[in-house]
Chains A and B, each alone.
Chain A
Amino acid sequence: MRHPIIGESVPRKEGLAKVTGKAIYTDDVTFPDMLYGATVRSQIARGKIRAIHFDPAMPWDEFVVVTAKDIPGKNCITLLEDDQPCLAADIVNHPEEPIVLLAHKDKYLVEEARRSVRIEIDPLPAIFTMEDSLASKEVIWRTNNIFKSLSVDKGDVDAAWATADKIIEGEYETGAQEQLYIEPQGMIATANPNDGVTVWGSLQCPYYIHKALSALLGLPADKIRVVQLETGGGFGGKEEYPSMIAAHASLLAWKSGKPVKIVYDRAEDMAATTKRHPSRTRHRTAVTRDGKLLAMDIDFTLDGGAYLTLSPVVLSRGTIHAAGPYNCPNVRIRSRVAATNAPPHGAFRGFGAPQSVFALERQLDQVAKAVGLTPDEFRRRNFIRKGQTLAVGQIVHEEIDMSELLERALKLSDYNAKRERFARENPGRSVKRGIGFASFLHGAGFTGSGEEYLASIADVEATPEGRVRVYAASTEMGQGTNTIFSQIAADALGLDYADIEVMQPDTAQVPNSGPTVASRTCMIVGKLVETAAIGIKQSLQQHKFLQEGYDRQAFVAACRRYHDEVGPLRATSRYSPPPNIHWDEHLYRGDAYGAYGWAVYVAEVSVDTATYETRVEDFVAVQEVGRVINPVLAAGQVEGGVAQGIGFALYEKVVWQEGRMINNQMTNYIMPTSMDLPPIRVYFEELPYARGPAGAKGIGELPLDGTAPAIINAIENATGICIRRIPMTPEDLMAALEATREKAIA
């Protein structure tokens, strides 16, 4: 009996190439006659383009120059809407907005040329804060600066205030965060009128690019081809932005007839591409004196930057996650995402939920304090259970026991003993210790009917030699797509891991299994792979080429026979929604997600009161994520996600000046090094989800939701200071401590 490999930490499929330096990323590729492209951008936040000057000292006749006028189709990067231009034509709406494209075969000269184009822009008044945008101090987008607003209502919040024993209010903010994949963004395009356009690049969603190029170039689908190369990290930062670079490279290739490579340097990547949406959340919470939640009134605002891009979906996820894994009879959520004159904000792991969950988990620690309960006792009295409804009205069908998860996390982190010890030892010490936690959930897959709308497809094929090939648009970017698809297909077919090949995501050869986002790759697309693999087996069995209990040799023989007698052997699996999932997009109620991951994270910190530096000393991450396909990969996802969450909480501050990120260098945008991170201890529980492959759910984004609030809760435990805003730098902590001292004296 063959030993199943789901649940085993088989080594990464492309690991050998990666450890030997043989993996091929975009900047490693060159074509004969290739040109290097560069983008000339707006230096100011908003204005009318008056003139473009080309310094006569440059040999411009050697260059390819592209402006908006060269765009054959529609001047836009089509996504949810078409408001974002590919190249600004008359008006610019954010610093770094692309205006002119240049290409030359000498990469040094094209950079010199970039500096030799001067764009005159007459400034227009610009908006830089959510507050100014909401107040319509200036209308910079459509009629009122609002990209999207949402309402969620459960029960009757207003009636609940009257019966409350305590009402607690709080306001919380999160800043922008840069994805900081170590491989900067890049694309290579080739184009000619016969074949159309092909782009190769660092990307998460080949079909997003495909769709965008089709509209931009006015070409039919079969004249556009998008190929993913090895991608050095994405985290959402390469979800939508690559369409912009692909568009730029394509236009230059189209005009010149030569291959064009555009690779951003770090400074350009940080300044011009997307970041996590900044947020502001206002909570008003009503509780009984014994700490039962009566009502939550949540007002949630995101800063979307200058164009709509994905903001409505980020808002959606943030809104749906805003009330957490708690049983609260009355909930009102009002949310909106507003335009500002900054480069558009975009997808970053968590996608709205880290913002709203930060606010919630901070707020609930305040609420616990107000009713004299410990943070954990308060959660225990309010955790949602099977049969109860989440804020959007979704009935929880999973057997999840959050109290048990909490108990396990507290035990593993020695929470109670440490809390008692720190309280005893902190007075008189200059380095204070604290411990705190966050409890949260994260929905996997697209919201509501999103997966149905995507209508994802994956194929599995068996060659005459019995080699099995998986065709899906899901991209590997380190999270383990190639590996888990291989494990899933291998177990579905009873073959070896080495027998499975995951085909390169190339729109010429893979069907559209949807974007590699939303923690959907394993749960949704993995299931399609599983089903398609089973489809191969069924085809062979239907023809009686394969018997029960076959071995690998028999499989190979059956494939040969099938090819000789029937034809190509390929199975297609199309997404079909679970029958009992109903989501009402208008009322914003119903079953938001097919499945959730559930977690409790505990952070232990030390705070040096001489320097105000906070260090995370220990971190425990306990989560229930359905069946774990590959423990090492899954733990790696959590560890990496927690590291990004630590950055979100304590280090990664974007410094803005009139809509531009001015600390756009790795020297000044601070992510944690190997010396800054604690041991990150990861534990899984598994409640198999029937509709996931082998029972798996999603995992990729979950860690970003709970890490930051756990840390800030721990800092409050250590210092007594209530921090409501992240990232919290030592300067911020010092300011908060001083403000508290002043208040105490006053």
Chain B
Amino acid sequence: MRSFIPAYEMQTPQSLTAALDILSGEPGVWRPFAGGTDLMVLLEAGKLAHRRYLNIWNLAELRGIESASRHISLGALTTYTDVRRNATLQREFPLLCRAAAETGGVATQNRGTLGGNIANASPAADTPPALLVYDAELEMLSSRGSRRIPYHGFHIGYKKMDVRPDEIVGRIFLPRGRTGWKSYYRKVGTRRAQAISKVCFAGAVHFDGATVNDVRIAVGSVAPTVVRASQTETLLRGKPLDPTTIAAARDTFAKEIAPIDDIRSTAHYRKVVALNLLEEFLTTTGA
């Protein structure tokens, strides 16, 4: 334990309103703390610079998975375990369940939350690619009210987000209604479980015969933020799935990602594998 624990504070607001009041009363002074699976690791390593935390773990308003006709909404404190166990999500948003199943082990899944995964903004996070593929929207809450924004564009740069100092992620909305789409998720990590991803690929595609009608592609760990490969999507729309298209898609995709060398892997490996996963996505769904 490399932090001086007595110097850290945590307070527990008794309601969401109280929590939001604290955030707006002293913006930036208190930071939200959910499951702690990222923040506590930093604390242990002596790398948690901020000292004052707002315990939001018990706020019921931030929990729960609700079905409405047009969307499913998930509270920011929905854990990976909650995601995995939800029958509607398994049926209609399987990539999110796959992502949740590949995050850490059972103990991490019981404490890690979607809101935390989004707000921690690691480019290697496992759920953001799935959320992007599903055109997720976020509801940002503050004592001033709420605003709803597309998740696409939420991450502006490395650990920079469209979030104001008095806001927290409240709910995540997943639009329903896609039928006939095929989906693909693959995380390549250092081992089969308990691994930070080297490349994390989510894709969904709708075919009209042999032609790509619509497609979504998102990938993690290959840029400072999670990447929605819009240009590759544009290239693919309306095209037949043949070797020429796949080669062109690979070329475009290569330009949309910017992987780096780090302690776990290399830029070259990430690029080669990301392109291979794109191809595997297209060929396995197109078959």
Contacts and interface: CB of A to CB of B under 8 A. Distances in A.
Interface of A: 107-109, 111-112, 115, 265, 267, 430, 610-613, 651, 655, 662-663, 665, 667-668, 670, 672-676, 730-731, 734
A111 B263 contact: no
B4 A610 contact: no
A670 B190 contact: yes
Contacts of A670: 190-191, 195
A108 B5 contact: yes
A236 B121 CA distance: 40
A109 B5 CA distance: 9
B194 A673 contact: yes
Contact of A730 (B45, B46, B105, B269): B269
B263 A668 contact: yes
B264 interface: yes
Contacts of B265: 731
B193 A674 contact: yes
Contacts of B263: 655, 662-663, 668
Contacts of B199: 611
A668 B262 CA distance: 11
A735 B280 CA distance: 21
B280 A675 contact: no
B269 A731 contact: yes
A651 B193 CA distance: 13
Q: Chain A: interface secondary structure? A: loop
19 contacts: A109-B4, A111-B1, A111-B4, A115-B46, A267-B2, A267-B45, A610-B280, A611-B199, A611-B277, A663-B263, A667-B41, A675-B192, A675-B193, A676-B193, A730-B188, A730-B269, A731-B268, A734-B269, A734-B272
B140 interface: no
Contacts of B280: 430, 610
Given A651-B191, A672-B191, A731-B269, A108 B196 contact: no
B276 interface: yes
B192 A611 contact: no
Contacts of B45: 267, 665
Contacts of B44: 265
A373 to B, nearest CB: 35
Given A107-B1, A430-B280, 5 more contacts: A109-B4, A265-B44, A665-B45, A672-B191, A675-B192
A673 B193 contact: yes
Given A613-B188, A668-B263, A676-B191, A108 B269 contact: no
Contacts of A107: 1
B243 interface: no
A646 to B, nearest CB: 11
List 5 tightest A-B contacts by C-beta distance, closest first: A675-B192, A610-B276, A675-B193, A731-B269, A670-B190
A611 B188 contact: yes
Contacts of A663: 263
Interface residues of B, number: 32
A115 B46 CA distance: 10
A286 B133 CA distance: 60
A67 to B, nearest CB: 22
Interface of B: 1-6, 41, 44-46, 105, 188, 190-196, 199, 263-266, 268-269, 272-273, 276-277, 279-280
Nearest to A109: B4
A430 B280 CA distance: 10
Contacts of B191: 651, 670, 672-673, 675-676
A336 to B, nearest CB: 32
A115 B7 CA distance: 15
B273 A612 contact: yes
A668 B264 contact: yes
Contacts of A667: 41, 196
Contacts of B266: 731
A370 to B, nearest CB: 32
Given A108-B1, A109-B4, A668-B264, A676 B276 contact: no
Contacts of A430: 280
A672 B3 CA distance: 29
A210 B193 CA distance: 42
A265 B2 contact: yes
A510 B268 CA distance: 57
Contacts of B5: 108
B173 to A, nearest CB: 32
B190 A265 contact: no
B113 to A, nearest CB: 19
Q: Which residue among A111, A610, A670, A734 has the maximum number of chain B CB atoms within 10 Å of its CB?
A: A610
Contact of A611 (B1, B268, B276): B276
A321 B3 CA distance: 47
Nearest to A613: B188
A612 B277 CA distance: 12
A18 B224 CA distance: 45
A655 B191 CA distance: 17
A253 B119 CA distance: 47
Contact of A612 (B2, B3, B41, B269): B269
Contacts of A111: 1-4
A115 B263 CA distance: 24
B42 to A, nearest CB: 12
A323 to B, nearest CB: 34
B280 to A, nearest CB: 5
A673 B273 contact: no
Nearest to A733: B269
Nearest to B5: A108
B190 A610 contact: no
A109 B273 CA distance: 46
A604 B194 CA distance: 24
Contacts of B195: 670
A675 B104 CA distance: 12
Contacts of A734: 268-269, 272
A666 to B, nearest CB: 9
A732 to B, nearest CB: 10
A730 B105 CA distance: 22
A568 to B, nearest CB: 48
